[in-house]
C-alpha cells in the first residue's frame, strides 16, 4: 500500500510540474512593452495574406507588419488585437487591402507587443496561400465532388436494393 501511495504521489507531483510549466505566459515582467512576437515569413506571388493570431490575452496586443527587402524593413501597417477571456482568440490578416505587396517583397516581418506585465497565452504567425480557381467541380459543371460522391453511393445502393 505504501508503494502505491508513493507512486500516486510521484505521478501527481509530475503532473503538477508539467501543468505549471505549461501555464507560463508568453510575456512576463519588464521595464516597457513586452515583445511577444518577432517573426519573419517568406511571401511570394501566391501569398494571399500573412496572419497573426493571439489567444487569451490580458491586454490589447499591438502588432506591426513590415515589408522586408534585404536588411531594410518598411513599416506598412499596425493592428490591435484583443482576446481577453477563456479560450478567446483574435486574428488579423495582413493582405493586399492592408498593404501587402508580395510581388515586390519576399518577406514580411511581424512584431507584436503587450504592455508591461501583461500576458499572451499563445501566438501564431502564418501565411495563407491563394487558391487557384478553375471552372470548378467535375468537368466544369459546378458540381462538387461531395455531391457527386453522395449521388453515386445512393445510385449504387438503389441498384443493390432492387436486386434483392
Could you please state the CATH topology (level 3) that the domain comprising 26-132 is classified under.
Immunoglobulin-like (2.60.40)
Cell of 118: 501583461
pLDDT attached to residue 6: 54
Ordered by start, the domain boundaries in the chain are 26-132
Higher pLDDT, 8 or 128: 128
End-to-end CA distance of the chain: 64
Percent of the chain with pLDDT over 70: 61
What number of H helices and E strands is found in the chain?
A: 2, 7
H or E element: which one contains 143?
none
pLDDT of residue 2: 58
pLDDT tens, residue by residue, 33-53 = 899 999 999 999 999 999 999
* pTM beyond 0.85, yes or no: no
pLDDT at site 10: 45
The position carrying cell 482568440 is 89
Amino acid at each position: 500500500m505504501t508503494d502505491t501511495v508513493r507512486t500516486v504521489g510521484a505521478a501527481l507531483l509530475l503532473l503538477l510540474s508539467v501543468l505549471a510549466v505549461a501555464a507560463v505566459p508568453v510575456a512576463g515582467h519588464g521595464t516597457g512593452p513586452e515583445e511577444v512576437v518577432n517573426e519573419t515569413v517568406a511571401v511570394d506571388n501566391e501569398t494571399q495574406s500573412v496572419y497573426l493570431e493571439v489567444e487569451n490575452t490580458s491586454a490589447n496586443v499591438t502588432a506591426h507588419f513590415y515589408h522586408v527587402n534585404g536588411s531594410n524593413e518598411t513599416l506598412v501597417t499596425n493592428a490591435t488585437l484583443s482576446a481577453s477571456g477563456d479560450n478567446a482568440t483574435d486574428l488579423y490578416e495582413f493582405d493586399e487591402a492592408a498593404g501587402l505587396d508580395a510581388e515586390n517583397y519576399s518577406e514580411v516581418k511581424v512584431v507584436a507587443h503587450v504592455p508591461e506585465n501583461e500576458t499572451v497565452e499563445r501566438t501564431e504567425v502564418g501565411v495563407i496561400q491563394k487558391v487557384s480557381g478553375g471552372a470548378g467541380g467535375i468537368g466544369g459543371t459546378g458540381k462538387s465532388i461531395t455531391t457527386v460522391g453522395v449521388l453515386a453511393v445512393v445510385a449504387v445502393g438503389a441498384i443493390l436494393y432492387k436486386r434483392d
